[in-house]
Amino acid sequence: MSKPPNKTRKVVAKVQAFRRFVFSRRVIPLFKGMARLHDRNCTDRFPGTVAFTLVIILVFIPQFNSLTVWPANFQNALIPTIVAATGQPIGACIQASTLVLLGVAVGSVNFAILANLARWTVVQAIVFACMVYGQ
């Protein structure tokens, strides 16, 4: 067999050096630092950080953008990621998503009512005031 190209040997050497580093004693202080993060209750932010990072990265991948006719709409995927309380327990995410859907439904109904009253601006103002200030 022929020898691999020079670039391939360099990559293999770098991967082997990284593998030796990961399993060496020099990495132990890194693990201790991660344990301190756990003590400071910072690890509950980790799932949210991963979710935001994945959404932001996926938006800028051309192959992912080619999945739809309107690739600009993928940029709006960050909004539900923020609203869904990522990094919280599953129940909190489901509750946040349910409340958001309920809010969208109520807003849509209010819009439909106000759109039907567009000819009568005074009545529309009174109904709008009842929607906003009514309890």
Domain borders along the chain are 1-40, 44-84, 89-135
Which pLDDT tens digit goes with each residue over 19-71? 777 676 666 665 555 555 555 555 566 677 777 788 888 877 778 777 777 77
CA distance 117 to 125: 9
Tokens of 49: 């950080």
Report pLDDT for 134.
81
Report d(CA 98, CA 126) in Å as an integer: 29
